[in-house]
Structure formats: C-alpha cells, structure tokens
Structure 1
C-alpha cells in the first residue's frame, strides 16, 4: 500500500517508566560523551541567545565538538546532517501530539513495496534541487549510491547499502566482484528509482536505513574533488566543495570554530511546516565546563548536566530527560600485537574487575554503570505483542547475573593468564580521547583499580591520548590494546546493530572476535526464520550479547542517559523523548519575550 506518511506512535507509558528510572540520553556523538571535560576549540566571540524581537531572525545556538567534513559518505554520525535531504524524513510532530513521524522528504510519497519487501519503489518530486539550482532526481540518488559503495573510494558508510537492508549485489560491487549494472539500484525514469533487496525488509527497517541514510551528492562537485586514481574526493571538506539540499543550507563554516546553517525554504520538509528556525549557529566547544558556562551566560540554548551541575539543576523545570540506546566503555583488542591481549582469561579478568561503578558515579556522577552491552533504552516486542525493556527479559537478566562484578574471579583469571605469560610483568595501553578530561579520569580510575588488584609489580596500565577520530581509525586498524569509545545501537532494530561484530563487516573495530554461531544468529534474526518468531528472536539477541561478552570485545563502563537544560526562549516540538530525533532541537521555535 502506498502511503503519504506514517506515524510511529510511541508507548508513552513505557517511556515514562523508563525515564523515571534513568536520567536521560543523548544524540549519539561517538567522539563526545556528554559529561566529558575536553579542551576548548576556539569558541570565538560571544553570541548571546536573547529572545528575538518580533520580525527578527529566529536563531538557535547549538554546540558540538568539531567537524572536519560534511561528506555524507564518510561522516561518522551522518544522520544529523541537516544540510542534505533524504528519501524519507524522520521528524517530530509539531502539533503537540508527541509522535515520531516518517514522512516523504525527496519522494512524493513514502517508498513502498508491492512484493513483500524485496523491491522498493521510490518516486521523487519534480521540483527538487541543490542550493545552486542543480536538479535532484532518481539519477542523483543512483550516482550517490554508486559512489557510496565505490570499491576504490572505500567510504566509511558504504555498509548503509547492505546492512541491515541488503541491496542486491551492493556488497559484491563494493568488493570489486561485479559491475554496477548488477546492483539492485535501477533508474526507471527521471523521477522513479527501483531498489531490489536480497532479503525482504520491513517498512521501518527500510525507512530508517536506505530511506533516511542515503543522501544525494552533487555529482559535478563530487567528481571535481576526485584525485587522479579516484581513491578519494574532497567533496564536503570545504564550502566550495558542496551544495546543500536539506532543511538547512550551509551559510558559513570555520574549521575548528563554528558553523552557521540557514533555513532552506525550498526543502520539502520546510514547505510542509516542520521547521521554523531561520538559523542554527553551532559553536565548536569541546570542554563540558565551558559549554555549561556558555549556557549559563545565555550564549548557548542548551547544556548537558553532569557532576555538581546535575545535583544542583536536576529538578529545574527546563530540564528534559532522555534515554540513550548506546553504551560507552572500552574496546578490547584480542588481536593486538601485544600477545597478552590474545588471552581470553586476561581479557575477562579486566572485565570482571572493571571499576564501572566508580566511572559512572564518580567520574560522570549521574550515569548508570552497566555490566552489559545492550542498553536499558532498548525495548523489544514479544510474540504476544507486548513491548518491554530488553533488559527486563529473562535471558537478559541472566546475562547481568553471569557477568556481575567479581574481583575474586578476576584475580583468579589474571593469575592463570599471568602464569601462561611466564610470570612476567604485563603491560597494556589504554587509548583515550585527547583533551577529554573525563575520559582521562576514566583511564586513571581503571589504572588505580587494576594495578591495585593485580599488583603494580605484575601489571601496568599505560594511558595514551589520541584525537577522537584518529582513535577510531586506530581501532579499525587494530593499533591499540584497549580503547575508549561507544557501541552505537539502532534504536528501532537492535539486531541490526550486531552487524558490526560479524565476520565480514566492512569497517570493523578490530577485536579479533569471530564466531560462526554469532554470524548465523545475526543472519537468522535479520533475514532468516527467526525474523518472524519474535520470542525466539529476542532469545537470539541475548545469546549474541552473551557470545560477545564471553570473548570480551568491549568493557561497558557507563550508559550516558542524559539530562539537558533548554533555554526558556526555545519552544521544543515535543517534550517527550523520541527515538532518532530526541527532542527535535532543529525543529524548535523561538518566541519574543
């Protein structure tokens, strides 16, 4: 059935229960855990957030840590690139109904399938264009998809085309095993694109992946930025090397300084009335304490609570709370050049003795201390149609019990590994994000705990400061022992997030982990028989989590359930936390005093 729009009606009672138990969540920024205390990156002159006079521009003053590129093919958190359009828009309702909406963006109606989810028809509007007037149509999207999985470019987000929705032969093309003509992306006419999948996809899976994570790129500029051997392009690295087409366009950008987005009145979602701001002025500020001070000074429109700020402001009427689907912690490289990291007992010794409570409650103060990988913010729906928090299921509870903190067990495992190491002192290195004081403190807390428990004469933890994006590059290269970071999760389909741990994932964090059982469970829950058996699928998710934890690919330390204060002059589109859009900051309105 063809649809003009689709509303995901949230189970409000469930959300209220969850939010009462936790203190918030975050727009996932892999390099910036809320509550961290990193270095300021040239905040520039003060930009006061005074309420506008009637008729003056409505400007929202935002912050982030940094941005080096606007390329949707490589930017880590590309779902928040508001300067580009997509086939499907995911927005908050703006009528006070607190609904998450899936609406047509560049398409004239939502993409639809008439064969059970294997073939999807995308019909585009006839008036789409980039800010320079270049038309956007089915051919534009086909070119963007082709470049996304180009085997020479090796783009970081290439997997968007084959996980979790598997476009026919997209991965084979990415691996250089077939021609583009063999890929299931076909232009039927200028305004119609047909996408064929290897396995059926549900509407929500299609909308939240291919529908909302494939962005049109400007072909002329993309090609202009290509190097001679076509292994890279400078597209999106400079204002002259990109054109916008989203709800906002890039008006100004100073690397390591700020970015200014202005409303794009030609965008379909703007025309439909989902966006009201004239501009979003985003400052690049890494230090949490500085951001908080700027918020208090009226220079930013929102600030994250942490530490003493949380205790003092948690009951402020301006506070909004959310739940993160992600868990922060320490990646563990079982394939490191440091051979002790290959020892499973040693890795588990670190896991069972990790000072997660101290990290969550002393370093970050307000966060939960998880001894699991799947966050409390993830819910699942059983065969009876009842939606519950995943962590409340029997299998998930058993995992918590199995992997509960246990210093005695950790010491026993360490003794065994130490003996196999020839009773020689063990030294490992922990990478943390340079300039982020809370992460450094996390490393110091781990250092103190592990060296104290195992004996500083037998174990040493060295700390290594690395710039955030370089750290993630190192993780993909396997150049680390332990590394701080976040295990990102798909809020709508937690099974899909498990793809990053499968044996043939395109850009994995190197941990040495490989499991035939895990790969099979992933395939069965995403594309096989378990897809239609809700209870068995939930049990399989728990088993996958257990397999990962048995190997110790990741040591969870905190769930960044967050609380934010929002300026009184800002009218949010929703005051109920919604997956994907959070509180819809960019959909806010601002009223004069």
Structure 2
C-alpha cells in the first residue's frame, strides 16, 4: 500500500456541444488491417485527469494520450509539444518555444502557451484540492499560492506569447522534469471547465494532444486507445490500436496469456512468471517501488520514541532483519534491498548503482552486528535490555502485509529479543494513524521517482517538512538535502544525492526491505517499448 493511496472523486454537469467536439477525429484508413495490441492491467484508472492520476495504469496510459513539453523516446529526451528550449545558467528558469500548428486530438482546437499556464493554475488551485497538486510546488511560489499566501501572478509561470512559455522554479530542474503530464501537458480551458470534476472520467470527457486517443472506456473493464492521426509525430507511431483489459492479476493474467487473450500481462509471482517463460513468452522487468518499514522517530509513545530516536538502535533493528529471507518467503515479488537507490534507477549516463557503488546494510541478517549496535544504543540511553519497550508494527489488513510483519516480528525476537505487536487496520485507519504519528513502525511503500527521490520521499525528512509522520529533524541532513536539491547540473545533483543517500542509510532513517519489480511478460516479436520507473508503450511495434 503506497503512502498516498487515498482518493475521492466527485461529479458535475457537462456541456453537450463541447463533449461532442472531443470525439476522436482519427479514423483508421483500413479497418481490416489494424495493428493492435492487448495489454492487461491490474485495475481501472478511474480517471484520466492529469491532476488526479494515482494508479499505475493511469500513469503509463497518460504517456500515450498526452504530449508534454519534453518526452522520452527510447531513453532520449526529445521535444514533445516544445520545438526548442533554453535554460538559465542556474537551471531555475526555462523558456520553451512550442511547435507551430499543434492541435488537440480533434484536429481543430489550437494549442497555445496559455493552455500550459491554465493546466498549471488548475493543478494548484487551492479550492480544487487536486491529488497531484504537490507536483506544482516546484514552481516558484507554487506552494505559497496553494496555501493562499500569494497571488497567481507571483507564481513562476507566464505565457510570453502564443508559442512561448517561461517557467521559474524554486530549484534547478532538468529535462526529465518536463515529462510530467500533471504540470507540463496542455489543457483546453473552456472544455475542461465545462465538465468540472467529471473531466477525464470517460472517453467522451477527455481532450488531449498525445499519440493516442481514448476512443472507448468501459468502467472497470476495458479501455481502447486509437492512433491520433493529428499528432505531430504520427509517422513514428506504429500501433493503430491499444486495447487495455483491467482487473488482470495473478493466475487470471497467466490464463489469459495462455488462452491467447492478451499480448502483454503485468509480471506476477515468480511461479507465475516461470509458467509463462516455460510457455515461450518473453519477460521485461524493472524496479517500480520499494517496500519499507517506515520509522516514527518520535515513537508512538514517549517510551518507544526514546529508542527510535537513537541511530544505533535503528541500526540494530535493520541488521536484525533478514531481507533475503523475507523476499524468498513473504515478499516474493521483491528483490532484497541493500541501499535506498534501486538497481534500475538512472545515474548520469548509466545506472546510479553502477556509477555510485555502495552497500547501506547487508541484505541478510547479521545478528552479531545487530547486537553490537543494540549494546551501543543501550549505553547511550543508559538503559538495560529489560527496559526495551514493546513496539507496534502498523500495516494494512491484508494477509500479505500481516505475513511480512509476522516474519519481521520473529526476526526481531530471535536476533535482539525485542517484542512487537502487529496492528492491522483498514486503509483509512492505517493512513490516519500513520500521518498522525500513531505508530512505531509502519509497513508501506513508495514509488520510484524521476530523476530521484529528493523532491518527494526524501523531502519528508527535512526540518522544513517535519511532521508527525516521520518525527525527524537533523541539521546535517537538511544541509546535505539543500545542497542536492539546488544542484545546477544533473551530474552535480547525482553526486550530491549520493551524499544524502549515505546519510540516510548510515543513520537508518527508514528500513527499506525490498525493491518491488514491475514490468510485463509478452509475446515474442514486440519491440519499441521502454522501461524507466514505468513502461512506455508509445513506440511499440510488432514484427511478424
């Protein structure tokens, strides 16, 4: 369960004339010769409103239906809606020139710089409370505007003319920043406003500018995308149609692949993957997120907080946990973690793991070292082993989460003699307890971020963002974080990020347990898809 998995949706009226204008103008030249693909997904996206996207299928479908200022093409950053761009020496001001003649998928409505300004203003509208509003905080005064502390004209975005837009950011940004649809894809104001909160909720309530169009959407069942013939780079798009089938998980996905009902299916368990490998299917794997035991450094009680606020005690707990055993038994979809940064995360030119080799902790338990750290903690605290309190392990009430914590519980008892209790709750209660600091350890997860975890996960440990969720504040960490987030080049950012990572691991700010793999198994012959922290199907092709 990700830390931010709580959503709410509302409904309002629509304007029939504008809705009719949104129907796809793309018509396949030969309906009998359609190049299509069938892709399984675990659940329905619920909405394709960029400001509200919050589940995996939505995030890779939005790449197909939107064209951001910059997009990734097989790992290379190219102009999407932008024809060219310039950046200031400090990396905080970016000026984009849009391609001439761009239209939305209806082939009629022109795209201008004002559409990007509108999308940003709508995203951080304080009255709307959009799920992805925090993505706009990177803009100068973006967070202040959302908090009602400044006017819109003070926010770092302006349309210079119809084809020129200028962004000013709090900190330096990089080309990867501008691939985010929530902030850097255009929206047509009159169309979106006419639909209110219903925008993005069905095929006839979406107007986009990307390589594909949502032509049909049966809620909680299927979604069909067709090629947008009005897309500026339509000649590079190979597939005519993409058919997504939802609620495809586990054995259901395996059965559908074997019955020739799917061409791509999300990776399942090791056994399920092996079944499809044995049947001749290909595999594509990458890291999407990490599972962890979040630590409340202040503790649920003053007594537990005394211990959890001690770095050596946290290290003792980390070294007592056998991550290899966890991933072999109750976290079978994960790879045991030995640092914060996952193996597939990008460095400067290769992977971060290759460019900055490091081990933050052993993947297997080291009971002897764990006891050394515990003894050091007890000496620092002036306590004895008999005075160690019982700690609470909070989780979602799924059997899988309970099984993970039961295994951790046994490891802490065996290797350190530490007692714990498991508190499994509904999603609502679990999130409420976590955000209010009513926990000692909380089993959850975080998605990987581009270009790294600085803007999201790691920012939650800074003093400026201090909250009951983490209960942590440290001046040295703040200094390292501020240097990294202000890095003017990607080379400097990665090097400074490494310093933050080492502090994070050396001080055990969080117990990262495993890196969760994503990806797909698929029929042989498909090429052109690309994996980062999600799969990009934009340039998918099939060789007969």
Give the structure-1-normalised TM-score.
0.72
Which residue of the partner structure matches residue 223 of structure 1? 193
1:444-459 alignment runs, 5 A limit? 444-453=406-415, 458-459=419-420
Which residue of the partner structure matches residue 214 of structure 1? 184
Q: 1:188 to 1:53 in 2, by over 3 A?
A: closer
Give the distance between the partners of 1:307 and 1:153, measured in 2 at CA: 42
Verify the 8 A CA contact 2:461 2:470 in the aligned structure 1. no
Q: 1:504 to 1:159 in 2, by over 3 A?
A: farther
Give, in angstroms, the shift of residue 296 of structure 1. 2.3
Q: 2:97 aligns with which of 102, 123, 139?
A: 123
Give the distance between the partners of 1:338 and 1:118, measured in 2 at CA: 43
Give, in angstroms, the shift of residue 550 of structure 1. 5.1
Give, in angstroms, the shift of residue 139 of structure 1. 1.1
Q: 2:393 aligns with which of 429, 433, 438?
A: 429
1:84-483 alignment runs, 5 A limit? 84-92=66-74, 100-107=75-82, 109-113=83-87, 117-124=91-98, 125-129=100-104, 131=106, 134-163=109-138, 167-202=139-174, 204-208=175-179, 213-220=183-190, 222-224=192-194, 233-239=197-203, 241-269=205-233, 271-285=234-248, 287-303=249-265, 304-311=267-274, 318-324=281-287, 326-335=289-298, 337-339=300-302, 341-342=304-305, 343-344=307-308, 345=310, 347-365=314-332, 367-381=334-348, 389-390=352-353, 393=356, 396-397=358-359, 399-400=360-361, 405-408=365-368, 410=370, 413=374, 416=378, 423=387, 426-432=390-396, 434=398, 438-453=400-415, 458-466=419-427, 475-476=434-435, 478=437, 480-483=439-442
Give, in angstroms, the shift of residue 155 of structure 1. 3.1
Q: 2:39 aligns with which of 51, 61, 66?
A: 61
Give the distance between the partners of 1:106 and 1:533, measured in 2 at CA: 26
Give the CA RMSD over aligned residues: 4.1
Which residue of the partner structure matches residue 22 of structure 2? none
Residue 579, structure 1, aligned to residue 543, structure 2: no
Determine helix, strand or coil for the equivalent of 2:240: coil
Give the distance between the partners of 1:244 and 1:178, measured in 2 at CA: 30
Which residue of the partner structure matches residue 474 of structure 2? 515
Verify the 8 A CA contact 2:334 2:517 in the aligned structure 1. yes
Q: 1:105 to 1:308 in 2, by over 3 A?
A: same
Give, in angstroms, the shift of residue 63 of structure 1. 1.2
Q: 1:545 to 1:71 in 2, by over 3 A?
A: same
Verify the 8 A CA contact 2:343 2:351 in the aligned structure 1. no
Q: 1:103 to 1:58 in 2, by over 3 A?
A: same
Give, in angstroms, the shift of residue 245 of structure 1. 3.1
How many equivalent residue pairs?
A: 506
Determine helix, strand or coil for the equivalent of 1:121: strand
Which residue of the partner structure matches residue 73 of structure 1? 51
Q: 1:29 to 1:564 in 2, by over 3 A?
A: farther
Which residue of the partner structure matches residue 460 of structure 2? 501
Give, in angstroms, the shift of residue 525 of structure 1. 2.1
Give the distance between the partners of 1:505 and 1:301, measured in 2 at CA: 47
Q: 1:327 to 1:491 in 2, by over 3 A?
A: same
Give the distance between the partners of 1:282 and 1:31, measured in 2 at CA: 25
Which residue of the partner structure matches residue 548 of structure 1? 504
Determine helix, strand or coil for the equivalent of 1:587: coil
Greater relative contact order (CA < 8 Å, ≥ 6 in sequence): 1
Q: 1:526 to 1:471 in 2, by over 3 A?
A: same
Verify the 8 A CA contact 2:277 2:283 in the aligned structure 1. no
For structure 2, the 5+ residue unaligned runs are 6-29
The Cα offsets for residues 6-36 of structure 1, whole Å up to 9 and x where unpaired, read as xxxxxxxxxxxxxxxxxxxxxx99899xxxx
Give the distance between the partners of 1:241 and 1:335, measured in 2 at CA: 46
